[in-house]
Amino acid sequence: MGVDEIRVLVKGALEDLKAENIVELDVRDKTDVTDYIIIASGNSSRHVKSIANNVAVAAKKAGHPPIGVEGETDGEWMLVDLADVVVHVMQPQIRQFYDLENLWQVDLSRHQESF
């Protein structure tokens, strides 16, 4: 299963359970750990758990089981590691606090040389 197929599968699984504010970040030029990070919100711990579980089950059924699933205890922030795609499902206040979208942005001004 290719990375584009995984991305489509993940987005479908997120949308199936009404995940909110789905954002995909292409991080291929920022890390060797993964190619894409997909972030979505759930409105309660139960919703977050259900969404992340749906992603994991869909991937497994497609023959691409997760490497790992983290955060099942609290359900505030769950991570589903599909190697080339890492999925974060968070409650809105946790998502706002950690602001992963901003964290993965590159500030070009810090990488320019002064002459």
Check which CATH number belongs to the domain holding 17 and give it: 3.30.460.10
Instruction: Please give the pLDDT value at position 115.
Output: 37
pLDDT, tens digit, 9 for 90 and up, residues 20-59: 999 999 999 888 999 999 999 999 999 999 999 999 999 9
Q: Is residue 109 part of a domain?
A: no
Beta bridge partners, 37, equal: 25, 86
Distance (Å, rounded) from C-alpha 15 to C-alpha 8?
11
Containing domain of residue 8, as a range?
Answer: 3-102
Give how many domains the chain has, as a whole number: 1
Q: Is residue 114 part of a domain?
A: no
Q: Is residue 91 part of a domain?
A: yes
pLDDT, tens digit, 9 for 90 and up, residues 57-79: 999 999 999 999 999 998 999 99
